[in-house]
A = this chain, B = another copy of it.
Amino acid sequence: MAPLYKLTYFDGRGFAESARFLFKYGNIDFEDIRIKRQDWPKMKNSTPFGQVPVMEHNGKQICQSAAICRYLGKMVNLAGNNDWENLEIDSIVDTMNDLRMKIMLVQWEQDAVKKRELKDTVLEEIVPYYLARLEALVEKNKGNLAVGRLTWADLYFVSMSPGFDAFIGGDTFAAYPNLKLLRDKVETLPGIKEWIENRPNSDF
């Protein structure tokens, strides 16, 4: 039978890897469609808002990676047990998205001098500010980012951590033992371990 879900993105981890982690964790078959950069301009207008990842299900297309992961997280039993727990999970996921956005602003900066200044600020102030708070949260939540047990926020965070490492030029979590333990835990989960070993190589 053809998979019930298709996930379309570029040939990279980027904004799609979190959804792939959730599909693999839940052992849910999906079609992992990877488009070539040169094919993107002619595909762009067929997506809901000119962006990928796009998930397709029952003939419907939907964009926005965090929204997709919230849906998949519920499906694979990694959501909260009540509305407040879901709020805690959602809050940490959007906090992660903020951190990623601050890093992307450095990558998008064209002026070399400004890029250097901005990168220094992000590396010396912003990243440590977030990581110290995340480290404390994980300690408080018994090795997880929220609600005292594994949720889709943990998979979301760990799936993007190689992107942080690439930006920093080293191990993002070197000075953060709880975050390292969280990463080790997620990366060895059934489904995810095999995926990391076998996933396509990519630059981003």
Q: Write out, one digit per residue, whether chain A residues 67-95 have a CB within 8 A of any chain B CB (1) or not (0).
A: 11011001100000001101110110111
Q: Which one of B49, B88, B91, B94 contacts A95 once the chains associate, using CB atoms below 8 Å?
A: B49
B-contacting 9-mer, from A28-36, A58-66, A162-170, A186-194 = A58-66
For residue A40, CB closer than 8 A to chain B, the reply is: no
| In the complex, chain B residues whose CB is within 8 Å of the CB of A98 | 49, 51
A67 touches B83 (CB 8 A): no
For residue A204, CB closer than 8 A to chain B, the reply is: no
Copies of the protein in its oligomer: 2
Instruction: For chain A, residues 129 to 146, give those with C-beta under 8 angstroms from any C-beta of chain B.
Output: 129-130, 133
A87 touches B63 (CB 8 A): no
Interface size, chain A (Cβ < 8 Å):
33
B66 touches A94 (CB 8 A): yes
| Chain A residues near B (Cβ < 8 Å) | 48-51, 57, 60, 62-64, 66-68, 70-71, 74-75, 83-84, 86-88, 90-91, 93-95, 98, 101, 105, 111, 129-130, 133
Alpha-carbon separation in the docked complex, A51 to B129 (Å): 12
A49 touches B130 (CB 8 A): yes
B83 touches A49 (CB 8 A): no
| Shortest distance between the CB of A195 and any CB in chain B (Å) | 23
A68 touches B49 (CB 8 A): no
